[in-house]
Amino acid sequence: MGQGEPMQLRWDEGGDPAKLGIMVCGHGSRNRKAVAEFAQLTTGLARLLPRHPLAYGYLEFSHPVISTGLDMLRSVGVDQVVAVPGMLFAAGHVKNDIPALLNRYSAATGLPIRYGRELGMDARMVRAAAARITEALPPEARGEKGVAIRQDTLLVVVGRGSRDPDANGNVAKITRMLVEGLGLGWGETCYAGITFPQVEDGLRRAVGLGYRHIVVFPYFLFSGVLVSRIHRAVDCVVADHPQLDIRKAAYLNDHPLVLDTFRARAQEALGGDNAMNCALCKYRTQVLGFESEHGAPQASHHHHHEGLGESCTLCPDDCTGACEEDVKAKARHHIHRH
Protein backbone atom coordinates (compact mmCIF):
# COMPACT_ATOMS: atom_id res chain seq x y z
CA MET A 1 0.00 0.00 0.00
CA GLY A 2 3.00 2.30 -0.28
CA GLN A 3 3.76 5.14 2.13
CA GLY A 4 0.21 5.50 3.42
CA GLU A 5 -1.09 4.23 6.73
CA PRO A 6 -0.87 0.42 6.65
CA MET A 7 -3.68 -1.81 7.82
CA GLN A 8 -2.69 -3.28 11.18
CA LEU A 9 -5.71 -5.38 12.00
CA ARG A 10 -6.13 -8.53 14.05
CA TRP A 11 -6.70 -11.63 11.97
CA ASP A 12 -7.93 -15.03 13.02
CA GLU A 13 -6.27 -17.55 10.70
CA GLY A 14 -8.55 -20.33 11.94
CA GLY A 15 -12.21 -20.27 12.74
CA ASP A 16 -15.43 -20.80 10.81
CA PRO A 17 -15.03 -20.05 7.07
CA ALA A 18 -18.64 -18.85 6.98
CA LYS A 19 -17.65 -16.00 9.31
CA LEU A 20 -15.03 -14.75 6.85
CA GLY A 21 -16.56 -12.68 4.05
CA ILE A 22 -15.32 -11.59 0.64
CA MET A 23 -15.87 -7.96 -0.38
CA VAL A 24 -15.39 -7.01 -4.04
CA CYS A 25 -14.70 -3.28 -4.37
CA GLY A 26 -15.69 -1.88 -7.75
CA HIS A 27 -15.18 1.55 -9.24
CA GLY A 28 -18.78 2.28 -10.16
CA SER A 29 -20.35 3.79 -13.26
CA ARG A 30 -23.31 5.91 -14.31
CA ASN A 31 -23.81 3.35 -17.08
CA ARG A 32 -26.50 0.83 -16.16
CA LYS A 33 -24.98 -1.87 -18.35
CA ALA A 34 -21.59 -1.54 -16.62
CA VAL A 35 -23.23 -1.82 -13.19
CA ALA A 36 -25.17 -4.91 -14.28
CA GLU A 37 -22.01 -6.50 -15.70
CA PHE A 38 -20.14 -5.97 -12.44
CA ALA A 39 -22.99 -7.55 -10.48
CA GLN A 40 -22.97 -10.49 -12.89
CA LEU A 41 -19.24 -10.95 -12.40
CA THR A 42 -19.61 -11.06 -8.62
CA THR A 43 -22.31 -13.71 -9.01
CA GLY A 44 -19.86 -15.83 -10.96
CA LEU A 45 -17.16 -15.23 -8.38
CA ALA A 46 -19.50 -16.26 -5.56
CA ARG A 47 -19.92 -19.64 -7.26
CA LEU A 48 -16.14 -20.08 -7.24
CA LEU A 49 -15.89 -19.24 -3.52
CA PRO A 50 -18.92 -21.02 -2.06
CA ARG A 51 -17.53 -21.32 1.48
CA HIS A 52 -17.57 -17.57 2.13
CA PRO A 53 -20.37 -14.98 2.02
CA LEU A 54 -19.64 -12.48 -0.76
CA ALA A 55 -20.80 -8.91 -1.25
CA TYR A 56 -19.87 -6.06 -3.57
CA GLY A 57 -19.97 -2.28 -3.56
CA TYR A 58 -18.78 0.71 -5.56
CA LEU A 59 -16.32 3.46 -4.81
CA GLU A 60 -18.29 6.11 -6.66
CA PHE A 61 -21.29 6.88 -8.87
CA SER A 62 -23.22 3.65 -8.16
CA HIS A 63 -25.08 1.81 -5.44
CA PRO A 64 -24.52 -0.14 -3.28
CA VAL A 65 -21.47 1.69 -2.00
CA ILE A 66 -18.63 -0.32 -0.43
CA SER A 67 -19.70 0.42 3.14
CA THR A 68 -23.19 -0.95 2.37
CA GLY A 69 -21.64 -4.19 1.12
CA LEU A 70 -19.59 -4.45 4.31
CA ASP A 71 -22.72 -3.82 6.37
CA MET A 72 -24.41 -6.68 4.53
CA LEU A 73 -21.56 -9.05 5.37
CA ARG A 74 -21.73 -8.09 9.03
CA SER A 75 -25.48 -8.63 9.02
CA VAL A 76 -25.01 -12.31 8.07
CA GLY A 77 -22.52 -12.91 10.86
CA VAL A 78 -19.19 -12.23 9.17
CA ASP A 79 -16.54 -11.18 11.69
CA GLN A 80 -13.59 -10.65 9.31
CA VAL A 81 -13.33 -9.68 5.65
CA VAL A 82 -11.04 -10.05 2.66
CA ALA A 83 -11.54 -7.03 0.38
CA VAL A 84 -10.50 -7.41 -3.27
CA PRO A 85 -10.25 -4.38 -5.59
CA GLY A 86 -12.21 -5.06 -8.76
CA MET A 87 -9.75 -3.14 -10.91
CA LEU A 88 -7.11 -4.04 -13.47
CA PHE A 89 -4.09 -2.09 -12.21
CA ALA A 90 -2.94 -0.33 -9.07
CA ALA A 91 -3.31 3.41 -9.53
CA GLY A 92 -4.91 6.00 -7.23
CA HIS A 93 -8.18 4.16 -6.57
CA VAL A 94 -6.43 0.93 -5.58
CA LYS A 95 -3.54 2.52 -3.69
CA ASN A 96 -5.36 5.36 -1.95
CA ASP A 97 -9.13 5.58 -2.18
CA ILE A 98 -10.25 2.04 -1.39
CA PRO A 99 -7.72 1.47 1.45
CA ALA A 100 -8.69 4.78 3.06
CA LEU A 101 -12.37 3.82 2.93
CA LEU A 102 -11.69 0.35 4.35
CA ASN A 103 -9.53 1.77 7.14
CA ARG A 104 -12.26 4.20 8.13
CA TYR A 105 -14.87 1.45 8.17
CA SER A 106 -12.65 -0.89 10.17
CA ALA A 107 -11.83 1.82 12.72
CA ALA A 108 -15.53 2.68 13.14
CA THR A 109 -16.82 -0.89 13.45
CA GLY A 110 -13.87 -2.96 14.67
CA LEU A 111 -14.28 -5.31 11.70
CA PRO A 112 -10.89 -6.73 10.64
CA ILE A 113 -10.31 -6.29 6.91
CA ARG A 114 -7.48 -7.79 4.89
CA TYR A 115 -6.88 -6.01 1.60
CA GLY A 116 -6.08 -8.03 -1.52
CA ARG A 117 -4.26 -6.81 -4.60
CA GLU A 118 -5.54 -5.76 -7.98
CA LEU A 119 -5.85 -8.15 -10.94
CA GLY A 120 -2.56 -6.77 -12.29
CA MET A 121 -0.04 -8.51 -14.50
CA ASP A 122 -1.19 -12.12 -14.61
CA ALA A 123 -0.89 -14.82 -17.25
CA ARG A 124 -4.60 -15.58 -16.90
CA MET A 125 -5.51 -11.98 -17.72
CA VAL A 126 -3.27 -12.07 -20.81
CA ARG A 127 -4.98 -15.24 -21.99
CA ALA A 128 -8.43 -13.76 -21.39
CA ALA A 129 -7.42 -10.70 -23.43
CA ALA A 130 -6.01 -12.94 -26.17
CA ALA A 131 -9.33 -14.79 -26.36
CA ARG A 132 -11.25 -11.54 -26.90
CA ILE A 133 -8.80 -10.41 -29.59
CA THR A 134 -8.88 -13.78 -31.37
CA GLU A 135 -12.69 -13.60 -31.49
CA ALA A 136 -12.33 -10.30 -33.38
CA LEU A 137 -9.82 -11.55 -35.96
CA PRO A 138 -11.04 -12.60 -39.41
CA PRO A 139 -11.82 -16.35 -39.39
CA GLU A 140 -9.04 -16.98 -41.89
CA ALA A 141 -6.51 -15.44 -39.46
CA ARG A 142 -7.10 -18.09 -36.83
CA GLY A 143 -5.10 -21.28 -36.66
CA GLU A 144 -1.83 -22.26 -38.30
CA LYS A 145 -2.90 -21.19 -41.81
CA GLY A 146 -3.56 -17.63 -40.68
CA VAL A 147 0.05 -16.70 -39.89
CA ALA A 148 0.39 -14.33 -42.84
CA ILE A 149 -2.78 -12.43 -41.95
CA ARG A 150 -1.80 -12.15 -38.29
CA GLN A 151 1.58 -10.76 -39.30
CA ASP A 152 -0.26 -8.12 -41.33
CA THR A 153 -2.42 -7.22 -38.30
CA LEU A 154 -1.75 -4.34 -35.94
CA LEU A 155 -3.16 -4.51 -32.41
CA VAL A 156 -4.19 -1.32 -30.62
CA VAL A 157 -4.71 -1.88 -26.88
CA VAL A 158 -6.61 0.88 -25.11
CA GLY A 159 -6.11 1.29 -21.38
CA ARG A 160 -8.06 3.40 -18.91
CA GLY A 161 -5.21 5.87 -18.36
CA SER A 162 -4.15 7.30 -15.01
CA ARG A 163 -1.73 9.71 -13.36
CA ASP A 164 0.35 6.74 -12.24
CA PRO A 165 3.09 5.92 -14.80
CA ASP A 166 3.52 2.41 -13.35
CA ALA A 167 -0.11 1.56 -14.10
CA ASN A 168 0.12 3.11 -17.59
CA GLY A 169 3.29 1.16 -18.24
CA ASN A 170 1.54 -2.10 -17.35
CA VAL A 171 -0.95 -1.52 -20.16
CA ALA A 172 1.97 -1.19 -22.58
CA LYS A 173 3.41 -4.44 -21.22
CA ILE A 174 0.09 -6.18 -21.80
CA THR A 175 0.20 -4.95 -25.41
CA ARG A 176 3.66 -6.40 -25.96
CA MET A 177 2.77 -9.78 -24.46
CA LEU A 178 -0.34 -10.01 -26.62
CA VAL A 179 1.46 -9.05 -29.84
CA GLU A 180 4.23 -11.60 -29.31
CA GLY A 181 1.91 -14.27 -27.94
CA LEU A 182 -0.57 -14.04 -30.82
CA GLY A 183 2.08 -13.56 -33.52
CA LEU A 184 0.72 -10.21 -34.67
CA GLY A 185 2.65 -7.78 -36.82
CA TRP A 186 2.78 -4.79 -34.48
CA GLY A 187 1.20 -3.28 -31.40
CA GLU A 188 0.36 0.21 -30.19
CA THR A 189 -0.94 1.37 -26.81
CA CYS A 190 -3.24 4.32 -26.19
CA TYR A 191 -5.56 5.45 -23.42
CA ALA A 192 -9.16 6.53 -23.02
CA GLY A 193 -8.44 9.33 -20.58
CA ILE A 194 -6.01 11.35 -18.45
CA THR A 195 -2.76 10.39 -20.20
CA PHE A 196 -1.56 10.16 -23.80
CA PRO A 197 -1.88 9.20 -26.56
CA GLN A 198 -5.65 9.39 -26.65
CA VAL A 199 -7.55 6.83 -28.70
CA GLU A 200 -8.24 8.69 -31.93
CA ASP A 201 -4.75 10.23 -32.08
CA GLY A 202 -3.11 6.88 -31.42
CA LEU A 203 -5.27 5.06 -33.93
CA ARG A 204 -4.63 7.61 -36.68
CA ARG A 205 -0.89 7.23 -36.16
CA ALA A 206 -1.28 3.45 -36.23
CA VAL A 207 -3.07 3.67 -39.58
CA GLY A 208 0.05 5.29 -41.02
CA LEU A 209 2.14 2.19 -40.29
CA GLY A 210 0.68 0.43 -43.30
CA TYR A 211 -1.00 -2.66 -41.85
CA ARG A 212 -4.08 -3.93 -43.67
CA HIS A 213 -5.81 -5.27 -40.57
CA ILE A 214 -6.20 -3.43 -37.25
CA VAL A 215 -7.85 -4.77 -34.10
CA VAL A 216 -8.75 -2.27 -31.36
CA PHE A 217 -9.03 -3.92 -27.95
CA PRO A 218 -10.33 -2.02 -24.90
CA TYR A 219 -8.44 -3.47 -21.94
CA PHE A 220 -11.43 -2.81 -19.70
CA LEU A 221 -13.44 -5.05 -17.42
CA PHE A 222 -16.82 -3.55 -18.25
CA SER A 223 -18.75 -1.26 -20.54
CA GLY A 224 -19.21 2.42 -19.80
CA VAL A 225 -18.64 5.95 -21.00
CA LEU A 226 -14.99 5.28 -21.83
CA VAL A 227 -15.69 2.16 -23.90
CA SER A 228 -18.32 4.16 -25.78
CA ARG A 229 -15.71 6.88 -26.36
CA ILE A 230 -13.29 4.27 -27.74
CA HIS A 231 -15.91 2.92 -30.15
CA ARG A 232 -16.78 6.40 -31.41
CA ALA A 233 -13.10 7.15 -32.04
CA VAL A 234 -12.76 3.90 -34.00
CA ASP A 235 -15.84 4.77 -36.06
CA CYS A 236 -14.33 8.15 -36.97
CA VAL A 237 -11.12 6.55 -38.21
CA VAL A 238 -13.00 3.81 -40.08
CA ALA A 239 -15.01 6.44 -41.91
CA ASP A 240 -11.78 8.06 -43.12
CA HIS A 241 -10.10 4.76 -44.10
CA PRO A 242 -12.76 2.46 -45.61
CA GLN A 243 -10.05 0.49 -47.44
CA LEU A 244 -8.71 -0.91 -44.13
CA ASP A 245 -10.10 -3.78 -42.08
CA ILE A 246 -10.46 -2.15 -38.65
CA ARG A 247 -12.21 -4.27 -36.04
CA LYS A 248 -13.39 -3.77 -32.46
CA ALA A 249 -12.62 -6.51 -29.97
CA ALA A 250 -14.87 -7.01 -26.96
CA TYR A 251 -13.70 -5.92 -23.51
CA LEU A 252 -12.86 -8.56 -20.88
CA ASN A 253 -16.14 -8.70 -18.92
CA ASP A 254 -16.68 -11.96 -17.00
CA HIS A 255 -14.38 -14.19 -19.05
CA PRO A 256 -13.73 -17.39 -17.04
CA LEU A 257 -10.03 -16.55 -16.73
CA VAL A 258 -10.91 -13.11 -15.31
CA LEU A 259 -13.08 -14.80 -12.70
CA ASP A 260 -10.26 -17.24 -11.98
CA THR A 261 -7.86 -14.33 -11.41
CA PHE A 262 -10.33 -12.71 -9.01
CA ARG A 263 -10.56 -15.99 -7.12
CA ALA A 264 -6.77 -16.19 -6.95
CA ARG A 265 -6.56 -12.66 -5.51
CA ALA A 266 -9.07 -13.53 -2.79
CA GLN A 267 -7.23 -16.74 -1.97
CA GLU A 268 -3.88 -14.90 -1.83
CA ALA A 269 -5.34 -12.49 0.71
CA LEU A 270 -6.81 -15.35 2.72
CA GLY A 271 -3.34 -16.88 2.90
CA GLY A 272 -1.55 -13.62 3.66
CA ASP A 273 0.21 -13.43 0.29
CA ASN A 274 -1.45 -10.19 -0.81
CA ALA A 275 1.34 -7.63 -1.28
CA MET A 276 1.02 -5.35 -4.28
CA ASN A 277 3.79 -5.66 -6.84
CA CYS A 278 4.21 -1.95 -7.60
CA ALA A 279 7.86 -2.16 -8.64
CA LEU A 280 7.94 1.44 -9.83
CA CYS A 281 5.34 2.99 -7.55
CA LYS A 282 5.79 6.77 -7.56
CA TYR A 283 5.19 6.85 -3.79
CA ARG A 284 7.99 4.35 -3.07
CA THR A 285 10.54 5.23 -5.74
CA GLN A 286 11.78 8.46 -7.29
CA VAL A 287 10.24 7.80 -10.66
CA LEU A 288 11.50 10.05 -13.44
CA GLY A 289 9.20 13.06 -13.73
CA PHE A 290 7.32 12.24 -10.52
CA GLU A 291 10.07 12.85 -7.95
CA SER A 292 7.92 15.24 -5.92
CA GLU A 293 5.44 12.46 -5.12
CA HIS A 294 8.07 10.14 -3.63
CA GLY A 295 7.14 9.57 0.01
CA ALA A 296 4.06 11.76 -0.22
CA PRO A 297 1.18 10.82 2.10
CA GLN A 298 -1.34 8.66 0.32
CA ALA A 299 -4.78 10.05 1.03
CA SER A 300 -8.16 9.58 -0.58
CA HIS A 301 -10.06 12.48 -2.10
CA HIS A 302 -13.06 10.39 -3.11
CA HIS A 303 -15.16 10.38 0.05
CA HIS A 304 -17.34 13.08 -1.52
CA HIS A 305 -17.93 10.91 -4.61
CA GLU A 306 -19.25 7.86 -2.77
CA GLY A 307 -22.66 6.94 -4.16
CA LEU A 308 -22.75 10.17 -6.16
CA GLY A 309 -25.39 10.22 -8.85
CA GLU A 310 -27.86 7.74 -10.21
CA SER A 311 -27.66 5.68 -13.38
CA CYS A 312 -27.75 7.77 -16.53
CA THR A 313 -31.19 7.65 -18.15
CA LEU A 314 -30.22 9.15 -21.52
CA CYS A 315 -29.48 5.73 -23.02
CA PRO A 316 -31.77 2.68 -22.84
CA ASP A 317 -28.96 0.27 -21.93
CA ASP A 318 -25.35 0.74 -22.98
CA CYS A 319 -23.72 4.16 -23.14
CA THR A 320 -23.84 6.12 -26.38
CA GLY A 321 -21.82 9.03 -24.98
CA ALA A 322 -24.84 11.34 -24.85
CA CYS A 323 -24.01 12.39 -21.30
CA GLU A 324 -20.30 13.12 -21.85
CA GLU A 325 -20.66 16.89 -21.86
CA ASP A 326 -22.70 16.73 -18.65
CA VAL A 327 -20.04 14.55 -17.02
CA LYS A 328 -17.28 16.93 -18.12
CA ALA A 329 -19.19 19.92 -16.75
CA LYS A 330 -19.60 18.22 -13.39
CA ALA A 331 -15.92 17.27 -13.37
CA ARG A 332 -14.91 20.90 -13.98
CA HIS A 333 -17.23 22.01 -11.17
CA HIS A 334 -15.76 19.36 -8.88
CA ILE A 335 -12.18 20.45 -9.57
CA HIS A 336 -13.11 24.08 -8.94
CA ARG A 337 -14.68 23.33 -5.60
CA HIS A 338 -12.16 20.84 -4.26
Query: Where does 17-118+255-319 sit in CATH, by number?
Result: 3.40.50.1400
DSSP 8-state symbol, 196: S
**How many residues make up the chain in this entry?**
338
pLDDT band at 7 (very low <50, low <70, confident <90, very high): very low
Least confident piece of the model among 95-109, 169-183, 190-204, 290-304: 290-304
At residue 1, the pLDDT reads 35
Q: How far is CA 139 from the centre of its chain?
A: 29
State the Cα–Cα distance between residues 76 and 177, nearest whole angstrom.
43
Boundaries of CATH 3.40.50.1400 in the chain? 17-118+255-319, 124-248
Query: What class, spelled out in words, does domain 124-248 have in CATH?
Result: alpha beta
Count the alpha carbons within 13 Å of 79 in the hemisphere toward its beta carbon.
9
Closest CA to 180 of 205, 209, 150, 200: 150
pLDDT at residue 256 greater than cutoff 70: yes
Give the percent of the chain with pLDDT over 70.
79
- Tens digits of residue pLDDT in 280-313: 666 667 767 777 777 777 666 655 456 655 556 6
Find the helix or strand (DSSP H, E) in which 206 lies.
Answer: helix 199-207
